[in-house]
Amino acid sequence: MNQYILQTEDVAIHYGGVKALDGVDLTLEKGQIRGLIGPNGAGKSTVIDAITGRRKLTRGRVVLAGEDVSHLGAVERRMRGLSRSFQRTSIFGGMPVRKQVELASYKMGVADSADDAEAVLQELDLIRLGNTLAEDLGYGEQRRLDLALALVGRPKVLMLDEPMAGLSVKESQDLAQHLKALTSRWEVSVLLVEHDMDVVFGISDAVTVFELGRVIASGDPAAVRANPRVREAYLGSAA
């Protein structure tokens, strides 16, 4: 029995001569938050694209709850529980928050989409904004709506690409708390790409460091932070 909810095995994505990813092995346990860090162009976003099925693999496979999903399209993977947030692109400005979340749930084929939406809104403290039009939300609230749309249908894995970008310190902490709560209450597992090191090291159970499409360090946050190669490649300037 495989204890991982998600695994990538020897995943590679090459664009002509550019090895955006080259031999990436990642694991994610149930309810775990794994932070993905690395310099610009290291391949962090490409890993998420590879897992969600947005980019075709050059090599390797993606395994969700023991099932090889490498041959499936992005929509099928979402149906099986691999979800990502898209930072606003999926929001309709003129529609109230609750309606949007219900619609997203309905489109997922959830049997009781009203209940599903309500639970998501509750979890993200969006109930009081249920009747507010998305275009009238503050930036931080819009980000929470993004997250809500990614959470309909109770995904197994949530992938977030720089969700804290543009948020105030207070809003970032708030979002981090919600993520942490989700992992314990809903047993959602999270892959978090984030440049804010305080956030990453503050909430991750494990951290993986990328450089030039490869994993250069992975494991316990404290050990990763202390790793000389990581400090040199990435944290050097900040440390």
Ligand X SMILES: Nc1ncnc2c1ncn2[C@@H]1O[C@H](COP(=O)(O)OP(=O)(O)OP(=O)(O)O)[C@@H](O)[C@H]1O
| Binding site residues, ligand X, CB under 6 A | 15, 18, 20, 38, 40-46
Alpha-carbon distance 239 to 235, whole Å? 6
CB of 195 to ligand X, least distance (A): 7
Asked whether position 45 contacts Mg ion by CB under 5 A, the answer is: yes
Partner in contact with 5, chosen from ligand X, Mg ion, none, beta carbon below 5 to 8 Å by kind: none
Alpha-carbon distance 28 to 35, whole Å? 10
Cβ atoms of 35 and 61 closer than 8 Å: no
CB of 54 to Mg ion, least distance (A): 13
The DSSP element (H or E) to which 7 belongs, if any, is strand 4-15
Partner in contact with 34, chosen from ligand X, Mg ion, none, beta carbon below 5 to 8 Å by kind: none
Cβ atoms of 182 and 123 closer than 8 Å: yes
Asked whether position 173 contacts Mg ion by CB under 5 A, the answer is: no
Partner in contact with 221, chosen from ligand X, Mg ion, none, beta carbon below 5 to 8 Å by kind: none
∠ CA 113-193-58 to the nearest 5 degrees? 90
Minimum CB distance to Mg ion smaller for 31 or for 39: 39
- Fill in the DSSP letter of residue 187: -
Asked whether position 87 contacts Mg ion by CB under 5 A, the answer is: no
Write the single-letter amino acid at 106. Answer: Y
CB of 194 to ligand X, least distance (A): 10
Minimum CB distance to ligand X smaller for 102 or for 161: 161
CB of 235 to ligand X, least distance (A): 14
Alpha-carbon distance 58 to 112, whole Å? 39
Which residues contact Mg ion by CB under 5 A? 45
